[in-house]
């Protein structure tokens, strides 16, 4: 039997991340041949991966990377089975290495086929499944290109990318703030203008039905009923709808006996409330129409406009689970 030295074991451990005993056993099985020992560990990983193929890899690490020119960004999720592994510094380091590679790929499939120290990323994940004992896989891959790309990562649970149309002086601050908004508020599209009319119609009907059902229970309990909106998006608030809402507000003020000379002071607030009550879909899903998390007196579009001749050209978001 070949004599295995501590130096050889340590070399294999550094190359693969496997434990000391696993490395020693692999070298013994390979009769001291370093490359064969790596193959032994890889085969072990394949066996473990096969056994754990049906496991849920909903924990892990979300990572965002941007190239040196700030023109390309990627966001990936390296998934594992437990939060304990997801927080392990070696696992997070592996996720960062894979994200660095992802900057040069255009899809998850390309990333899995990319070279990782003499093996593919897919093979590396199998190897590390054997080392760690948990299923590992790339659960998300998003890429964004723009004149300027910024990023934000929330405790390795959510990663967001934001693309800007121009490289203004405040691009770094602006892109990070908007990326934080994306991470925190989970927008799905840029603007209400992107919505399909059929989607808005079906969503309006569904939301009204839910609120009316809730009001039945609230009424039974003698509690205050929720407001039932007529609309849910700015896409529905045509000039005619706004004009009618203003006329209704004036009629209400008249009925309440409010002097006409003070209506101009009251109407803006009422119209602002009408718009807020009837644009819930936009506030949930449209990045530019959401209230800005750092200043809820303005929306994201207004915050972006305050930085000059620039607009958000796109965004991406990945999250665990």
Instruction: Write out the CATH class of domain 6-51.
Output: mainly alpha
Per DSSP, the three-state class of 230 is: coil
Q: How far is CA 64 from the centre of its chain?
A: 10
Give the whole-angstrom CA distance, residue 279 versus residue 290.
10
One digit per residue, the tens of pLDDT, for the chain of length 321 reads: 567 788 887 887 777 766 677 778 778 888 788 888 877 777 776 676 677 777 778 899 999 999 999 999 999 999 999 999 899 898 999 999 999 999 999 999 999 999 998 889 998 998 888 877 788 999 999 999 999 999 999 999 999 999 999 999 999 999 999 999 999 999 999 999 999 999 999 999 999 999 999 999 999 999 999 888 899 999 999 999 999 999 999 999 999 989 999 999 999 999 999 998 999 999 999 999 999 999 988 999 999 999 999 999 999 999 997
Task: Report the 3 state secondary structure along 56-76.
Answer: CCCEEEEEEEECCCCCEEEEE
- Do 6-51 and 59-186 share a fold? no
| Local structure of residue 245 (DSSP, 8 states) | H
The most distant pair of C-alpha atoms in the chain lies apart, rounded to whole Å, by: 102
Domain ranges of the chain: 6-51, 59-186, 193-295
CB count in 10 Å sphere of residue 271: 14
pTM higher than the cut 0.75: yes
CATH 3.30.479.20 fits 59-186, yes or no: yes
Which CA distances in Å does 187 have to 3, 234, 271, 284? 59, 16, 25, 7
């Amino acid at each position: 039997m070949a004599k295995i030295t501590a130096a050889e074991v340590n070399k294999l451990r550094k190359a693969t991340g496997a434990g000391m005993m696993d490395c020693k056993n692999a070298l013994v099985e390979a009769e001291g041949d370093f490359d064969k020992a790596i193959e032994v560990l890889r085969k072990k990983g394949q066996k473990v991966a096969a056994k754990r193929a049906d496991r849920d890899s909903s924990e892990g690490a979300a990572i965002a990377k941007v190239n040196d020119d700030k023109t390309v960004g990627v966001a990936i999720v390296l998934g594992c089975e437990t939060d304990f592994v997801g927080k392990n510094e070696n696992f997070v380091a592996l996720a960062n290495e894979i994200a660095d590679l992802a900057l040069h790929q255009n899809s998850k499939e390309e990333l899995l086929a990319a070279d990782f120290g003499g093996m593919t990323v897919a093979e590396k994940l199998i190897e590390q499944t054997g080392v760690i004992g948990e299923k590992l896989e790339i659960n998300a891959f998003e890429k964004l290109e723009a004149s300027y790309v910024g990023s934000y990562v929330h405790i390795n649970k959510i990663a967001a990318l934001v693309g800007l149309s121009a490289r203004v002086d405040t691009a770094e601050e602006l892109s990070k703030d908007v990326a934080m908004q994306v991470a925190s508020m989970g927008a799905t599209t840029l603007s209400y203008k992107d919505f399909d009319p059929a989607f808005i119609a079906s969503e309006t009907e569904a939301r009204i039905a839910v609120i009316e059902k809730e009001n039945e229970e609230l009424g039974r309990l003698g509690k205050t009923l929720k407001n039932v909106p007529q609309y849910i998006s700015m896409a529905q608030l045509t000039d005619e709808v706004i004009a009618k809402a203003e006329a209704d507000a004036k009629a209400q003020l008249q009925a309440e006996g409010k002097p006409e000379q003070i209506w101009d002071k009251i109407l803006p607030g009422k119209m602002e409330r009408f718009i807020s009550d009837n644009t819930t879909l936009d506030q949930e899903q449209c990045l530019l129409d959401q209230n800005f998390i750092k200043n809820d007196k303005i929306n994201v579009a207004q915050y972006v406009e305050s930085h000059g001749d620039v607009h958000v050209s796109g965004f991406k978001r990945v999250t665990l689970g």
